[in-house]
Amino acid sequence: ETGVTQSPTHLIKTRGQQVTLRCSSQSGHNTVSWYQQALGQGPQFIFQYYREEENGRGNFPPRFSGLQFPNYSSELNVNALELDDSALYLCASSLPSGATDTQYFGPGTRLTVL
Amino acid sequence: RKEVEQDPGPFNVPEGATVAFNCTYSNSASQSFFWYRQDCRKEPKLLMSVYSSGNEDGRFTAQLNRASQYISLLIRDSKLSDSATYLCVVKLHSGNTPLVFGKGTRLSVIA
């Protein structure tokens, strides 16, 4: 196991609602990246947090937002949910910049928007 | 053009077969390359990094051709347990930069 945990494992919401997903990084990892994986697609980068600051963002609208806490755990918030937001949301933690390329993924949260 | 493109698959092969996956990437400045494996409804897991000199891990061999912007993965003596989706992954820089994934190629190894 990678030591990265996510909660909840599954979630069902309706259009227009808001959702918060949580991620606890592997011990010692201060960087968390979030990815969205739609059915049949590869994961797409949403954003990354490094030492509590956003450190890069993919092509996602502002209704996707995040936080990182002093213990390096992280949240992904999505407002005004749309049907296309249905996907597996993955977080990945990694070691300090420059030390390694490896990102370790959590088991994901499967979000269904009805 | 997509940043990372893979064989569409699916690949259905008998046990013991050798199977090769191909991948191309569009950004010539990319620095790091990987193959990840993803089982159904699970998270991606790093299978192996890919180096310019080529590298091997047991039955798995990865190759990188920077001039052609091409990455490959060869699986020899396929096992039933190799059935999964194989994701080609590229990073622009080393360190904490995002992974760029291909769509994945599904492999089914049949008894």
Q: Please state, in angstroms and as integers, the Cα–Cα distance from residue A24 to each residue in A33, A56, A103, following that order.
A: 11, 19, 13
Question: Is A42 within 8 Å of B103 when comparing Cβ atoms?
Answer: yes
Chain A: closest CA distance from residue B96 (Å)? 5
Per-residue pLDDT of chain B (111 residues; tens, 9 = 90+): 789 999 878 999 999 999 999 999 999 999 899 999 999 989 999 999 998 888 999 999 999 999 999 999 999 999 999 999 999 999 987 777 889 999 999 999 999
The shortest C-alpha distance from A45 to chain B (Å) reads 7
Residues from chain B that touch A2, judged by Cβ atoms under 8 A, are 43, 45
A1 inside 8 A of chain B by CB:
no
**pLDDT tens figures, A92-109:** 998 765 555 688 999 999
Q: Which residues of B touch A98 (CB under 8 A)?
A: 94-95
B87 alpha-carbon distance from chain centroid: 5
Within chain B, residue ranges assigned H as helices are: none
Dihedrals φ, ψ of A109, to 5°? -120, 125
